[in-house]
Chain A
């Protein structure tokens, strides 16, 4: 009896040290645990799940398949989890993945709260976080680190492109409808600065709780402000409900216009063109840009019954870029891979000549689009007119203004 329990204890102790031993065995130039593991941490069921969610997993799997399923002769494995839009859930999951499951890189990371938390954990454990879904500029600002890349877009680019374009078109007085949390406030602040700098005026703003169903009351206030432009510093369902109610209250007929600061193609799809037409927005990916994007998006559509959002296409690109870097570095050790990711330009369906800067910002072309009217749309998902392509160095915050400690000035 006594002996048996000793044996059990020994076996247990051995088991618990095994993964650690396996990790230690990975000398430089090798692949830890003989497998490259990629984690998709996203919102699977909440307000943002149409932007990332299941589509993010499909996109990542497409990248792995396109890469051939193996890197440096080792298999590539994809794991996924739902962070429920809670920073603590997301951070704990990332910790568990890095510590116990040997995950090498985490991506998608919709929701700024989750992204900031996971970025910290990645730094602490020396793994890689590629933030595709979140917007907060802190990720490449004060809170930047050498293990994090901010991939698809950020609040600065959204505010900068949409704000400038709208003021240039004569929309020089603004009223904001702002989601009352970090993301919305930062977007409002960024955009206000851009508008003022371009010579416009901000007449006021109203902060609404996240996931508001009824916007009529806020819209009435926006209407009373007589601002030419109503800036929507919110996302997903909030943006949709606000635009829907505005149609009903004759706001657009009254001469006021909307500027959606973060609008995804799935939002437009859900609103319908009747309600969304004419709106200006900033995006980083549109399926109908060229043959490559169309071909890739057709494959995606076949698997996911929707066209990809900027986040899902970004997930594909991020995974592909990561795998190329692992291949080039000859290892999956985080700093070696990060160095390669900064070195190799991003060239795929998502970005042409994209570049990862030292603050972690992936700089690539963004574009300003206008939503088509129902008459202009010729087939399903034919939603955007591309008004202007904004080169990466004009779209994103220049390094000279960066507050990231990694940037040498």
Chain B
């Protein structure tokens, strides 16, 4: 069998594919963060908690109303987005003239509160949520067994990422958004309701987190700590990709997922640090991130 640095090529292919799955989670979460940072200049530490709420909402819809996965996929993102809008209107609005640090502190505090509340009611072990029937099972690719659900996750998240990128970069609405990032006052002078635009953008970024939460529910245990485990890595992804860069966050998310996958074969103990090593390296060589522009 062909080997690469002592690992069979087939096993390696499997790991790269798994990395792609994890990478799509990173991509969709960091995309939301990037959008929020780009437009609102807020480092949204509550993103992980909102992702967790998305997963819980899916579980809750199934338990209380018997609404299955597909319903959850449609209902949960707008629902979580609505939560985001409330947060933006109630809290974040008052901070937009202040330093980044205030937004960071506020959202970090919110994340702790949200997680604490869920922990109080549901404990830490989490709730079971099974894979939707249509996506049970998998296919043997020869070098690995690929569950259909994981393939679906990659397809769905990449589709959403690309659609988002398209809307922001290629449509009129996206043009407004980008203009609001550059010069909100000027845009307001043209008669665009910038505060509304900001609220909706935050809501959308947060809805992406909710969407990722629903995608994650059948894979990971739906528990209060699922967000905080992930969010730190996602922040590293955003920093590496370049704060606020849309394409950067997508490409870096997928790329880092694969690098992490490879680390798990060659030196598993290193797998939860490798992302941060890369982050340190990138910050040394390109402080604005791989895709970021120096301001």
Contact = CB atoms under 8 A, between A and B. Distances in A.
A267 interface: yes
A213 B226 contact: yes
Nearest to B148: A248
Contacts of B144: 220
Nearest to A275: B128
A213 B26 CA distance: 13
A270 B123 CA distance: 10
B230 interface: yes
Contact of A216 (B21, B225, B269): B21
Contacts of B128: 270-272, 274-275
A269 B221 contact: no
Nearest to A268: B125
A218 B15 CA distance: 9
Interface string A280-311: 00000000000000000000000000100000
A220 B150 CA distance: 14
Contacts, number: 107
A270 B269 contact: no
A340 interface: no
Interface string B2-19: 000000100100110011
A220 B11 contact: yes
Given A213-B226, A241-B220, A207 B269 contact: yes
A93 interface: no
Interface string B246-274: 00000000000000010011001101100
Contacts of B21: 216
Nearest to B260: A217
Interface residues of B, number: 41
Contacts of B131: 248
Contact of B130 (A209, A250, A272): A272
Given A217-B264, A218-B264, A209 B221 contact: no
B130 A241 contact: no
Contact of A306 (B123, B137, B221, B265): B123
Interface string A244-276: 110011100010000000000011011110110
A274 to B, nearest CB: 7
B7 to A, nearest CB: 10
A175 to B, nearest CB: 13
Interface string A345-374: 000000000000000000000000000000
A206 B268 CA distance: 7
A377 interface: no
B109 to A, nearest CB: 16
Contacts of A272: 128, 130
Determine the interface band of chain A, counting residues with CB < 8 A from chain B. 35 or more
Contacts of A250: 137-138, 145, 147
Contact of B22 (A47, A180, A214, A237): A214
B124 interface: yes
A275 B221 CA distance: 12
A213 B236 CA distance: 17
B204 interface: no
A216 B144 CA distance: 11
A236 interface: yes
Interface in A197-217: 206-209, 211-214, 216-217
Contact of A47 (B124, B230, B264, B268): B124
Interface of B: 8, 11, 14-15, 18-19, 21-22, 116, 119, 123-128, 130-131, 137-138, 144-145, 147, 149-150, 218-221, 223, 225-226, 229-230, 261, 264-265, 268-269, 271-272
Given A217-B261, A237-B126, A271-B128, 16 more contacts: A46-B124, A50-B123, A180-B268, A211-B225, A216-B18, A221-B265, A223-B145, A237-B223, A237-B225, A241-B220, A248-B147, A248-B219, A266-B123, A270-B125, A271-B221, A272-B130
Interface of A: 45-50, 53, 180, 206-209, 211-214, 216-218, 220-221, 223-224, 236-237, 240-241, 244-245, 248-250, 254, 266-267, 269-272, 274-275, 306
- Nearest first, the 3 A-B pairs at minimum CB distance are A272-B128, A270-B125, A217-B264
